[in-house]
């Protein structure tokens, strides 16, 4: 399993996502890749990625998983 999880969220939700993930001590770090598109990456470890995946459906807003291929395609724009 990868230690990175790419997500697409509403841009206005990026800050809330960051705060929620930060509230879970040492679980992961949120980095914004494209604020206008709401593209972020959660950086965890092999030990924490399962927990991060388990948290995503419980968030109070919609998150969409983005594949590496989709990321590569967006960087070509």
Q: What is the pLDDT of residues 5-36, one digit of tens each?
A: 999 999 999 999 999 999 998 899 999 999 99
Mean pLDDT taken over the chain: 91
Structural Rg of the chain based on CA atoms? 12
Q: What is the pTM of this model?
A: 0.86
Task: Locate 2 and state its tokens.
Answer: 């990868």
The CATH number of 4-75 is which of 1.10.443, 1.20.1740, 3.30.70, 3.90.320? 3.30.70
Residue 70 — very low, low, confident or very high, per pLDDT cuts 50/70/90? confident
DSSP 8-state symbol, 62: -
Residue spans per domain, the chain:
4-75
Percent of the residues in the chain that have a pLDDT greater than 90, as a whole number: 77
Question: What does the pLDDT read at residue 25?
Answer: 87
Contact 6, 67 (CB under 8 A): yes
């Amino acid at each position: 399993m990868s230690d990175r999880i790419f997500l697409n969220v509403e841009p206005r939700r990026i800050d809330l996502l960051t705060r929620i993930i930060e509230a879970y001590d040492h679980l992961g770090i949120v980095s914004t890749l494209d604020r206008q598109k709401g593209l972020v990456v959660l950086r965890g470890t092999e030990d924490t990625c399962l927990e991060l995946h388990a948290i995503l459906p419980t968030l109070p807003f919609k998150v969409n998983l983005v594949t590496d291929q989709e990321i590569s395609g967006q960087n070509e724009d």
